[in-house]
Structure 1
Amino acid sequence: MKQRRKPRGPEKKEPSRAADQSVDEKPTGILAGDEARPAEMRNFVILVIYQALMRTGWIFKTESVIMPAVLESLAASPWMMGCLPLLNRFGQSIPPLLVARRIKVTPFKSRAFIGTTTSMTLMFAGITSLWLLHLDKLPHLAAWIYLLLYGLFFTAIGINQLAYNTLQGKLIRPTRRGRLLMIADVIGVTSAVACAVMLLPRWLHEGAADFEWIFGFSTALFGAASLMAWQIVELPDNHDEPPKPLRRLFEGAWRTLKEDANFRRLAIVSALFTTSLLLFPFYQSVARNKLGLGFPMLVWWVVAQNCGTGLFSVLTGPIADRFGNRRALSIVTLLICAAPLVAAILISQTELGKNSFSLVFVLIGLTPVAQKTFNNYTLEIAPPSEHPRYLSTQNLCMAAPLFLSPLAGYLVGVVGFYTVSLCITGLLFLGWLLSFTLVEPRHHQPGAYVAPGDDSL
């Protein structure tokens, strides 16, 4: 019996070696293995704490509430407010594309993760100093400095997200990433809401706000997240790619779209989804101006938005782990259609809108969950060595519609929020329909090659 058993061990292991070799050789469409990663539980806990700290700090700089309200308080015009989504997405698309190779060939991805988190802290300290140095007394100058620091902050954010997602793909197995998303968001949302309810009423008044305290608190939490990033345990990897001139970087993104039909469809879905961000600067503005609501309502709107994030994380995280990220994408792309539609209805019904406009921000809370789901789907359809290239290309595609955000701001001022919001709703609904054309990678055996140009899948 022992003589019969001895040959069986190598025979069982040999196919897995071949499969591993084939995974390394395939250019695209590889599902990463579900083996445990080194120090996975420690890194899982650290990433949960990191995201919870970032989420708590983020509630005090919410893109759909606090940040546009700041710019509006500095007497900025609608087109300047429309620049916020442009700077937001530009920073999260072009810079990551430029540094994708550098992150790929760096043996320790955590170094970029640490550096960018520290840079984010410094940029936000600069924004806080606008009020500490009383530059808000010169509103036009302060508005331009604010936009500059805002753009630099999101440049750091963009590179940070690329480093984080690449690091997550390296440290956390695919079937635990949805769990990581759910736990981090639930803890982060709970902490963020508690801090907002306790602190924001002290800093938001009927006609003004203490922005130096709001942004100072965010700076402190970002600094704490930076300290947590130092605790990551990571083994070096060895991915090589020759340097390319600037034009070749964009050619690489174009090649990814051209050769991978499934990823190309994903790019279209994500671009249509991103059109929802065009309205972000105007939700709080139209509610305060049309419905007569003051600064104190910002507290409940940021609370509603973060509660929405926690709620949708609990919904999509387990669905993504059990049924796949494609199923989760279809759900989030449908639900986001309701945000501009509900906003358009509520601003036309004054009494109902005053009591119910927080529902819009609950739906907006879906946005960060959806963006992470897009990233997780991208990680699942790309080979590990190409995660930075696929993620940076994905971010570039998501940014494309936001180059029209100043125009969207101009149109809101000319034809009104109602008309623009209905047009955005139509685009979002189209994105939901197209999400059903995406491939579900988990229908294929682990290690199996999904042909990037196979439109029949």
Structure 2
Amino acid sequence: MSRVVPPPPTAPAPIGQSPSAPAGSDEHGGVPGSESRNFFLLVAHQVFFRVGWVFKTESIVMPYFLDVIGGGPVLRSWLMVLNRIGASVPPTLYARRLKLMRQKRWSLMATTIGSGVPFAAMSVLWASGAWREADGGVAWWTKWYFLAMYAWFFVVTGLNQLSIQTVQGKLVRAERRGRLFTTGVLFGCPLAILAVVMLMPRWLALPDGGFAWIFAAPGVAFLLSGLMMLGVRETDDDFTEVHEAGWRRFRRAAWLAFEEPKLRGVAIAAALYSSAFALFPHYATLAREAAGAGFDIQSLVTWTVTQHSAVAVVSLLAGPIADRFGARHAVQMTMLGAALAPITAIVLATTGDAGGGQLFWLVFLPLGFTPVTNKMLLNYTLELVDREHHTLYTSAVGLCLAVPVIGGSLLAGVLIGWLGVVPVFTMGAVVMLLAFAQTLRLAEPRRQSV
């Protein structure tokens, strides 16, 4: 029996599931005998990617850089607007092309390497000194160049995230996807933390802030990450799908998100949870303001280490929970944890310099739940439908994670400038708790009868 309710006459053709297999349990898409090899290479891909990612976090490093070159709360908010546009629009337009690719690893390789190109460009710019005015100040166009490079990065990264989900959905069985994520974090987070501790303090201490090196790090790490796909072995796919205009793909994804019963619940949870992203660029600034004159540049290292240590610990819990009990339970746990970040920030921000400035590293503990929540939401989505439709369903959830942020991030930046951080963070915390409440209503796909 089909798991997907047929769409109305004006909607795209119905998307059904195989009557002989439960959702998310398609036959293994790797070359026979290659499962362990592919698993190892996908872990290596995650490890290198995580090492690169730690140097460009939107909660710490990049907001600090944007402040250095003349940004403010509204300009910082553009980081998440670009982030969510890249995570939603390009993947939705790209989903059909990726579905029709015989081997998805080439897409993952190209988009991973491509994610490092804008950082390489920023590294070259900073190393050349072309960003300086004659008086030694930062040229007015530097922040716009940075945002342009970041827009490029997020477009490619949106395609990359869709490619990751599709490759994992093809090559990794549902009951091992949590293990893949956990293993990648188990090895990747310690290496990322080690890289930060060993390299970032000396880079930040350089007269120019060390940004040439900070930007070069993700460029090199993403290159190595992409090259892991050369060793992956997968069988050719032979899917078909009619061509349709781009606006129809958005309409189709939006219809699926809120009309398809299996997807509606997770779509609502994702849309509510997306408020977390609107707050993301403002945590580091709030921490610096709480510290006041006592702010130490090396605190950036402490916050980065704290956040990525939290990601590792949360992943060690979420991955096994997802594999054993289903991704739904992992989503519930991580979403509740993520909601503690703005609550903790509010408490510490109101304690004054003596308390908030010294203890603000605590905020970055619950922030470690955020990337894990994103992954678990998408893993839950993969379990709802057969592999043939993974690209469309994950892009639909990506839209739900993105659209509220695209409109809300700039509004959050304006409101922070007018009202201050506490009222805005309070509203964000309430919405995130509503998102957690919505996850309690999600169905468990693994218990559904076929």
Fold shared, TM-score > 0.5 on shorter chain: yes
Q: Which amino acid is 1:329 matched to?
A: V
Gaps of at least 5 residues in structure 1 are: 1-21, 449-457
Instruction: State the Cα distance separating 1:34 from its structure 2 match.
Output: 7.3
Question: Is 1:394 the equivalent of 2:397?
Answer: yes
Larger deviation, residues 171-180 vs 203-212: 203-212
Aligned to 1:326: 328
1:145, 1:220 → 2: CA distance?
21
Instruction: State the Cα distance separating 1:173 from its structure 2 match.
Output: 0.4
Cα deviation code 1:190-218 (max 9, x no counterpart): 00011111111101139962100111122
Structure (1 or 2) with the larger CA radius of gyration:
1
Aligned to 2:42: 47
1:184, 1:325 → 2: CA distance?
17
Within the candidate set 88, 93, 97, 1:98 is matched to: 93
Larger deviation, residues 338-347 vs 254-263: 254-263
Instruction: State the Cα distance separating 1:76 from its structure 2 match.
Output: 1.4
Aligned to 1:201: 201
CA contact (8 A) 1:193 1:303 kept: yes
Question: Is 1:56 the equivalent of 2:51?
Answer: yes
Helix, strand or coil: the match of 1:336?
helix
Q: Which amino acid is 1:327 matched to?
A: H
Aligned length, in residue pairs: 425
Larger deviation, residues 348-357 vs 156-165: 348-357
CA contact (8 A) 1:207 1:294 kept: no
C-alpha distance 258-368 of structure 1, shift in aligned 2 (>3 A)? closer
Within the candidate set 23, 32, 35, 2:25 is matched to: 32
Aligned to 1:375: 378
Q: Which amino acid is 1:423 matched to?
A: M
CA contact (8 A) 1:196 1:303 kept: yes
CA contact (8 A) 1:347 1:353 kept: yes
Instruction: State the Cα distance separating 1:369 from its structure 2 match.
Output: 0.8
Aligned to 1:415: 419
Cα deviation code 1:306-337 (max 9, x no counterpart): 00100100010111111111111111111111
Aligned to 2:319: 317
Q: Which amino acid is 1:412 matched to?
A: I
Aligned to 1:241: 241
CA contact (8 A) 2:43 2:184 kept: yes
2:421, 2:254 → 1: CA distance?
34
1:328, 1:78 → 2: CA distance?
33
Aligned to 1:346: 348
C-alpha distance 27-344 of structure 1, shift in aligned 2 (>3 A)? farther
Helix, strand or coil: the match of 2:45?
helix
1:97, 1:31 → 2: CA distance?
20
Aligned to 1:306: 308
Question: Is 1:85 the equivalent of 2:80?
Answer: yes
2:151, 2:162 → 1: CA distance?
17
1:24, 1:400 → 2: CA distance?
28
Aligned to 2:225: 225
CA contact (8 A) 2:290 2:357 kept: no
2:259, 2:43 → 1: CA distance?
35
1:26, 1:351 → 2: CA distance?
63
2:165, 2:404 → 1: CA distance?
23
Aligned to 1:17: none
1:347, 1:65 → 2: CA distance?
17
Q: Which amino acid is 1:419 matched to?
A: P
Question: Is 1:115 the equivalent of 2:115?
Answer: no
CA contact (8 A) 2:29 2:234 kept: no
TM-score in terms of structure 2 length: 0.91
CA contact (8 A) 2:18 2:386 kept: no
CA contact (8 A) 2:416 2:424 kept: yes
2:188, 2:131 → 1: CA distance?
31
Q: Which amino acid is 1:54 matched to?
A: F
2:28, 2:230 → 1: CA distance?
25
Q: Which amino acid is 1:289 matched to?
A: E
Q: Which amino acid is 1:99 matched to?
A: Y
2:62, 2:442 → 1: CA distance?
35
Larger deviation, residues 390-399 vs 243-252: 243-252
2:273, 2:248 → 1: CA distance?
27
Within the candidate set 433, 444, 448, 2:448 is matched to: 444
* Residues 13-24 of structure 1: pairs in structure 2 closer than 5 A: 24=17
- Runs of 4+ residues over 2 Å off in structure 1: 22-31, 33-38, 205-208
Q: Which amino acid is 1:326 matched to?
A: R
1:29, 1:133 → 2: CA distance?
56
Cα deviation code 1:11-69 (max 9, x no counterpart): xxxxxxxxxxx985469982415769531111100011110111111111111000111
TM-score in terms of structure 1 length: 0.89
Question: Is 1:269 the equivalent of 2:269?
Answer: yes
1:143, 1:358 → 2: CA distance?
27
1:342, 1:139 → 2: CA distance?
37
Question: Is 1:287 the equivalent of 2:287?
Answer: yes
Question: Is 1:428 the equivalent of 2:432?
Answer: yes
Cα deviation code 1:88-145 (max 9, x no counterpart): 1110110000010000011111111111112112122112122022233243201001
CA contact (8 A) 2:332 2:439 kept: yes
Instruction: State the Cα distance separating 1:302 from its structure 2 match.
Output: 0.5
Instruction: State the Cα distance separating 1:355 from its structure 2 match.
Output: 2.6
1:118, 1:105 → 2: CA distance?
21
CA contact (8 A) 1:54 1:222 kept: yes
C-alpha distance 50-31 of structure 1, shift in aligned 2 (>3 A)? closer
